[in-house]
């Protein structure tokens, strides 16, 4: 599994700069799939509670293998790793055009869901929100008050 380390504690008013390309390389997950990853983990648009059953299913296998663990620990890095694995295992055709395949993804994520049109709209909104947060090429990045080195490390399984 992967973990992200930063030099802590941060001073009040500190800014953390995360190099998306380095994280993408380290996780072997293309940047184009980050918006979907954000939606599947829960974000400002996709409520975490809506995804609880999906998260439980993803964690079920690791829970059975590793026995009982603290809930917050399990929901941390294990959940992120499980969702990353889910995204990586999606059909390549789905991964090339996420927006056009939202309904297929939702059927896998929320098979019991009845209001799929509403959920599709939320997912599309969440995907769009992430795109809007991307820096525009040649846009001047704000100068942070403090730069914190963030590195991704592989942990032994």
Q: How far apart are CA 6 and CA 63, in angstroms?
A: 27
- % of the chain surpassing 70 pLDDT: 68
| Residue 146 pLDDT > 70 | no
Mean pLDDT of the 76-81 span: 89
Q: How far is CA 67 from CA 58, 59, 62, 83, 106, in A?
A: 15, 11, 8, 20, 29
Question: Residue 85's closest CA among 59, 51, 64?
Answer: 59
- pLDDT band at residue 152 under the 50/70/90 scheme: low
Q: What is the pLDDT of residue 116?
A: 86
The model's pTM is 0.71
């Amino acid at each position: 599994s992967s973990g992200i380390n930063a030099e802590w504690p941060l001073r009040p008013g500190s800014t953390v700069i995360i190099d998306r390309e380095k994280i993408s390389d380290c996780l072997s997950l293309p940047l184009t799939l980050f918006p979907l990853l954000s939606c599947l983990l829960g974000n400002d648009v996709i409520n975490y509670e809506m995804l609880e059953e999906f998260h439980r299913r993803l964690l079920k296998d690791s829970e059975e293998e590793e026995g009982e663990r603290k809930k917050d620990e399990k929901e941390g890095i294990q959940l992120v790793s499980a969702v990353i694995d889910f995204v990586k295992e999606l059909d390549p055709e789905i991964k090339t055009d996420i927006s056009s395949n939202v309904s297929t993804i939702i059927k896998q994520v929320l098979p019991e869901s009845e209001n799929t049109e509403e959920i599709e709209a939320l997912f599309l909104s969440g995907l769009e929100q992430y795109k809007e947060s991307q820096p525009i090429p040649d846009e001047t990045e704000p100068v942070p008050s403090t730069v914190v080195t963030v590195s991704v490390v592989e942990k032994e399984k």
